Structure 1
Amino acid sequence: MGVRTMAGKLTKRSVVLRGAVASMTAAALLAGGTATATPARPPSRLRGPTGDLTGRQRAEWFEGQRHLEMVMRRLAPATALAAPAVRPAAVSDVGTVQHVRRISRDTLPAQGSSEQDTQVEPDVAVDPNNDQIVVAVFQQGRYPDGGSVDPGYATSHDGGVTWKHGNLPKLTKAVGGSFARASDPAVAFGPDGSVYAQTLPFDSNDCRNGIAVQRSDDGGLTFAPPVLAQDDTSCSYFNDKNWIAVDTFASSPHVGRIYSVWDRGDQNGQPIVLKYSDGRGATWSSLINVSGASSQGIGALPLVQPNGDLTVVYDRFSGADTEVAQTSHDGGLTFDPAVVIGQFRGSEPSDMRTGGLPAAAVDPTTGHLFVAWQDTRFRSDGLNDIVLSSSSNGGATWSALAKVNPDAQSKGIDHFTPAVAAYGGFVHVTYRTRAGGSSPSLYVGMRYRGSADEGATWGAELTLGAPSDLTYAAQAGGKFLGDYMGLAASANAVHALWCRSAKPPVSEPYHQTAWTGEVVK
């Protein structure tokens, strides 16, 4: 998605800002200076050369500050904490990797500065009534300054063996819609097998932006035109980093309710907000503030529990940068105060955008919650591990952070952009890996690790497919494989979804496609 810089150019995280941050930080450290991992506090009212900043500009300011924090942490790592010992599980608990394959490729014509033949930021969901039906969504034709030409989807009705793909219709101008671009696709199933694809559409020449939801009634083979859950034309607001979930539990008083959450930048802050639909996405509630009007948050993820409670997990960077959870017991109308899961201590290289956002899941059989993110706390080299915390009491309290990846710091491997899923007491985590050091590798791997006992022990780390070659990756404030990936679990398997860059079949600058793999117990 995009935000406007003070000069008016559309961008999510300004390429200029990110480059300047890396240069200034490196120069300061080489000159004997020090780095701080605490971003500057904004003035109470941010102003640009022509007046008060718009919602988009303010969102960019905060995201730029958060990126600065991550780069600082990479270049000036803190003292490592002792990592808890993790007992490996039996090999029989791991599972087998199957059906690793490309499921789609961007074939939309380039629009202006878009990077043709790029797909990024995928999500995936499995039908709770039929685990053979799997639906994925992703951006297509990424713009370096935010958003994509139009999101696409891919659908399997045989458990991930074969796939059909298409473009979400009537959303952007490229496919007969009204918006210039769209970003941040997410997907969820309803209790009746309906599929809901959610995106963030916006215009590049004015301030219009919103939250769109498109429904499929044939298991994800086709989608209806978008319904706008939110439609803003004022420059005072910008909607960002959305996600969707549906209450599919017959035991819940709110079964069938669809929840859309996102952060909403304005002059007062960047609060987490919510709307819900009891009409299969055709109509939506009024706006509900989850986090407080002046809070600063991003990366909201709604988790519906079997009793109908809703927990929203997000990154709160008001003051200290922490991962927090807020729970509603009345279908999203009101929320308990935020509970801190843990401090975010993730880092990021200057040449790559990794997201640094939380991943979260609920086990539909137990109601237990899981949150993962990239973090440097157990290392002294500034690279990331993947850490995990869980809650067995509806988000009221959270476990101490545990390291998921098995390799030691001496291996020099960076781990980032996790995804997490859970089902039947099994917890599944995927993440990207990259050899770090002063000259990081151009190749980024995909890894999976599973636990049969809710994270107490872990199976061996598995490789998912061939690595990405960053030479041909999309560009968005650095090499960009996406701020998030998809992972969805059922009783018998877990489906991973990621975007992989590789040498194109013909000479062109970009080639990044959607891939899937299945781990079967």
Structure 2
Amino acid sequence: MKEFFLALLLLLIGSIAVAQQSRPVMMPSVNRAKLPPNLRNLPLHRLSSGALMLLNRDDNLVLPPRSITAAKGETTTEEAASAPVALDLRIGPNIRLGNDSSALPSNMRAQAEPHIARATTNEDFLVGVFQEGRFASGGGAVDCGYSVSHDGGLTWTRALIPNLTQTSGGPYFRATDPVVAFDLNNNVYLETLVATDPQFISGAVVLSKSTNGGATFASPVVAYRPGSISFFPDKEWMAVNTFPGTATAGRLLVTFSLFSNINSDGAPIRRVYSDNGGATWSSASAISTETTLQGSQPLYLPNGNCVVVYWNFGTSQQPGERLEAVISTDGGQSFGSPHVITFATEYNEPLIRTGSFLPSAAADRTTQNVYVVYQTLLGGNPRIAFIKSTNGGTTWSAPVAISDNPPGLGVFNPAINVSSDARTVTVAFYDHRNNPGSNVLVDLYLAQSFDGGANWQPNIRLTSISTNASLAPLTFQGYMLGDYLGVAQTTRPTVPAVPIWVDTRSGNPDPFITRAGIAPYADLVLAWEAA
């Protein structure tokens, strides 16, 4: 019964319905007096399932249901996706990243929350990572998997991360929030958040490393585990300093929000780092004195500085939701005071769980530029917004809408990457524009700039058939395609960007990629080569 109330609560709270009629439904309320003081005004859709269960450990958070109003059209009935369409010549075929592992339970084959990266010095070497067997309740997945390509994304080899959860021979009970990164030597690191107990009330951040091109991975190493089950790390992310000659070249840095149900510290973002390839890790330290933070995105710049971008929910003393950045001049050892990037209005989907508080950030290998995208409301309409710093995160441009979706139609889960020379900026995101009458049918779209973000090309559709999110697991916060997706950067005109997303065309959520050519003026030969 507790999970039923929580499911209703987080599916409906914070939902935004644009220009729809209403109908009555039943939704539980929250006894916010039971929350830590700094979390009492925080909309609960911003928490992972694990963090919510931590806060509700004593079963006193959720109160009996009350009648509220929800949007008409929020139906769980499956909707038929449109027939396949021909895509732009610059877009390659949509490719499924291999088959589901036979080790997964037959009724737990849904993938979610994909991420992808390209090797530092080998443009043909790509690795994708994703949840395997997403749970509908309680948070996380049966395991996390990965897929490796050595031909630029044309073919893939897929497996479960070995020795992670009990499904793959490991000690942990569930896994979630997978992220992939490469170091200077093209070693691969798969980072995940794992459940250290069956209920996912306590968790740890672990990394699995491959030194042979993704052929095998060593058993995961713990980067951070709280000293008490009253603390829960959430939404971890990873960056690697891949700039030779800088003081901390090779450093791995992991950031995460840390929730607690016993004090009033709110949710600060902390960091740990490793200078020996992930073998051992530093103690955790806060990157800021602020404590209502989520969605950290750490980056290294060519001068060795480390920048962390995140969402600040604001407090009564400092009201207003905003994106902020902190800068470290010693490679992540310490950080300066926060710089406000922009104030922002959060946008949430009516039925689909999204990463509404998760910005996506990138840096090139030539300048001190930092590039950020996020989902928001601009002029009252859902938009993907882009913002840029040209001085290492100190000052920022004004937000610019880079999604050209029709007014009132949702866009969400943007992911950004940028070419090494700072010219080509690539953003992928989910979009409802091809199915304006549906809250569950979406496509993946591309926004690209060829001058570092000064001007943007018209959006291009990436998926040949719409994805039906109602085929994904129905979690506390909505249908689970994932809180984020990813895009591997282009390196030169004939090396396409590679977005990764979750797609349901097979009847089940699966990880897919495509190869997106980058030149708007490309002739047929260049388009064929890129695709």
Scaled to the shorter chain, the TM-score interval is 0.7 to 0.9
Q: Is the 8 A contact 1:355 1:484 kept in 2?
A: yes
Q: SS state of the match for residue 15, structure 1?
A: helix
Q: What 5-or-longer segments of structure 1 have no aligned partner? A: 32-39, 48-53, 66-70, 76-93, 505-510
Corresponding position of 1:353: 353
Q: Is the 8 A contact 2:190 2:207 kept in 1?
A: yes
**Counterpart-to-counterpart distance in 2, 1:407 and 1:205:** 40
Q: What 5-or-longer segments of structure 2 have no aligned partner? A: 24-31, 41-48, 63-67, 73-87, 519-531
Q: SS state of the match for residue 123, structure 2?
A: strand
Offset, 1:459 = 1.6
Corresponding position of 2:374: 373
2:193 pairs with one of 191, 195, 200:
200
Q: Is the 8 A contact 2:14 2:348 kept in 1?
A: no
**Counterpart-to-counterpart distance in 2, 1:513 and 1:122:** 10
Q: Is the 8 A contact 2:15 2:349 kept in 1?
A: no
Offset, 1:232 = 2.9
Q: TM-score, normalised by structure 1?
A: 0.81
Corresponding position of 1:306: 302
Q: In structure 2, do the counterparts of structure 1 residues 271 and 389 end up closer, same or farther at CA, with 3 Å as the change threshold?
A: same
CA deviations 1:450-500 (Å, max 9, x no partner) are: 101111111232111222012312222211111000112131221111011
Offset, 1:205 = 3.5
Q: Is the 8 A contact 1:244 1:261 kept in 2?
A: yes
**Counterpart-to-counterpart distance in 2, 1:445 and 1:415:** 10
Offset, 1:316 = 1.1
Q: Is the 8 A contact 1:105 1:119 kept in 2?
A: no
Offset, 1:108 = 4.6
Q: In structure 2, do the counterparts of structure 1 residues 314 and 453 end up closer, same or farther at CA, with 3 Å as the change threshold?
A: same
Corresponding position of 2:149: 156
Q: Is the 8 A contact 1:324 1:340 kept in 2?
A: yes
More moved, 153-162 vs 348-357: 348-357
Q: Is the 8 A contact 1:152 1:166 kept in 2?
A: yes
**Counterpart-to-counterpart distance in 2, 1:179 and 1:460:** 45
2:130 pairs with one of 122, 129, 138:
138
Q: In structure 2, do the counterparts of structure 1 residues 491 and 56 end up closer, same or farther at CA, with 3 Å as the change threshold?
A: closer
Offset, 1:106 = 2.9
Offset, 1:18 = 2.1
**Counterpart-to-counterpart distance in 1, 2:324 and 2:223:** 25
1:116 pairs with one of 108, 112, 115:
108
Q: Is the 8 A contact 2:54 2:201 kept in 1?
A: no
Offset, 1:366 = 2.0
Q: In structure 2, do the counterparts of structure 1 residues 398 and 440 end up closer, same or farther at CA, with 3 Å as the change threshold?
A: same
Corresponding position of 2:170: 177
**Counterpart-to-counterpart distance in 2, 1:210 and 1:388:** 32
Offset, 1:45 = 7.7
Corresponding position of 1:227: 221
Q: Which one has the bigger strand percentage?
A: 1
Corresponding position of 1:518: 515
**Counterpart-to-counterpart distance in 2, 1:416 and 1:489:** 20
Percent sequence identity is 32
Quick one: which amino acid aligns to residue 154 of structure 1? S
Offset, 1:247 = 0.4
Offset, 1:207 = 4.1
Offset, 1:206 = 6.6
**Counterpart-to-counterpart distance in 1, 2:295 and 2:15:** 27
Corresponding position of 2:46: none
More moved, 432-441 vs 129-138: 432-441
* 1:21 and 2:13 correspond: yes
Quick one: which amino acid aligns to residue 404 of structure 1? I
CA deviations 1:334-391 (Å, max 9, x no partner) are: 1111111112213223322111111111112223111111111223xxx411001000
Q: Is the 8 A contact 2:16 2:347 kept in 1?
A: no
Corresponding position of 1:50: none
CA deviations 1:68-127 (Å, max 9, x no partner) are: xxx99999xxxxxxxxxxxxxxxxxx982124211134335555xx96121111111111
Quick one: which amino acid aligns to residue 221 of structure 1? A
**Counterpart-to-counterpart distance in 1, 2:194 and 2:425:** 33
Q: In structure 2, do the counterparts of structure 1 residues 60 and 341 end up closer, same or farther at CA, with 3 Å as the change threshold?
A: farther
Quick one: which amino acid aligns to residue 395 of structure 1? G
Corresponding position of 1:495: 498
Q: In structure 2, do the counterparts of structure 1 residues 155 and 46 end up closer, same or farther at CA, with 3 Å as the change threshold?
A: closer
Offset, 1:209 = 1.2
Corresponding position of 1:473: 472
C-alpha root-mean-square deviation of aligned residues, in Å?
3.2
Q: TM-score, normalised by structure 2?
A: 0.80
CA deviations 1:25-70 (Å, max 9, x no partner) are: 99xx969xxxxxxxx89653889xxxxxx99348768xx99xxxxx
Q: SS state of the match for residue 349, structure 1?
A: coil
Corresponding position of 2:121: 129
Corresponding position of 2:248: 254
Quick one: which amino acid aligns to residue 295 of structure 1? T
Quick one: which amino acid aligns to residue 209 of structure 1? G
Quick one: which amino acid aligns to residue 415 of structure 1? V
Q: Is the 8 A contact 1:313 1:324 kept in 2?
A: yes
**Counterpart-to-counterpart distance in 2, 1:453 and 1:227:** 40
Q: In structure 2, do the counterparts of structure 1 residues 59 and 273 end up closer, same or farther at CA, with 3 Å as the change threshold?
A: farther
Q: SS state of the match for residue 14, structure 1?
A: helix
Q: Is the 8 A contact 1:120 1:499 kept in 2?
A: yes
Q: In structure 2, do the counterparts of structure 1 residues 188 and 276 end up closer, same or farther at CA, with 3 Å as the change threshold?
A: same
Matches within 5 A, 1:285-364: 285-292=282-289, 295-319=291-315, 320-356=320-356, 357-364=358-365
Quick one: which amino acid aligns to residue 369 of structure 1? V
Show structure 1 runs of 4+ deviating over 4 A: 22-26, 40-43, 57-61, 71-75, 108-111, 435-439
Offset, 1:208 = 3.5
**Counterpart-to-counterpart distance in 2, 1:74 and 1:346:** 18
**Counterpart-to-counterpart distance in 1, 2:69 and 2:148:** 41
Q: Is the 8 A contact 1:74 1:348 kept in 2?
A: no
More moved, 423-432 vs 439-448: 439-448
Q: In structure 2, do the counterparts of structure 1 residues 496 and 59 end up closer, same or farther at CA, with 3 Å as the change threshold?
A: farther
Corresponding position of 2:429: 431
**Counterpart-to-counterpart distance in 2, 1:325 and 1:209:** 26
Matches within 5 A, 1:70-109: 96-109=90-103
Q: SS state of the match for residue 281, structure 2?
A: coil
Quick one: which amino acid aligns to residue 490 of structure 1? T
Corresponding position of 1:239: 233
**Counterpart-to-counterpart distance in 2, 1:104 and 1:158:** 15
**Counterpart-to-counterpart distance in 2, 1:351 and 1:420:** 24
Q: SS state of the match for residue 242, structure 2?
A: coil
Quick one: which amino acid aligns to residue 262 of structure 1? F
Quick one: which amino acid aligns to residue 426 of structure 1? T
Q: SS state of the match for residue 299, structure 2?
A: strand
Q: In structure 2, do the counterparts of structure 1 residues 24 and 420 end up closer, same or farther at CA, with 3 Å as the change threshold?
A: closer
Q: Is the 8 A contact 2:345 2:376 kept in 1?
A: yes
Q: Is the 8 A contact 2:435 2:441 kept in 1?
A: no
Q: In structure 2, do the counterparts of structure 1 residues 194 and 459 end up closer, same or farther at CA, with 3 Å as the change threshold?
A: same
Q: Is the 8 A contact 1:469 1:503 kept in 2?
A: no
Quick one: which amino acid aligns to residue 313 of structure 1? V
Offset, 1:296 = 1.3
**Counterpart-to-counterpart distance in 2, 1:162 and 1:58:** 40
Q: Is the 8 A contact 1:121 1:184 kept in 2?
A: yes
**Counterpart-to-counterpart distance in 1, 2:171 and 2:111:** 21
**Counterpart-to-counterpart distance in 2, 1:22 and 1:436:** 24
**Counterpart-to-counterpart distance in 2, 1:23 and 1:499:** 22
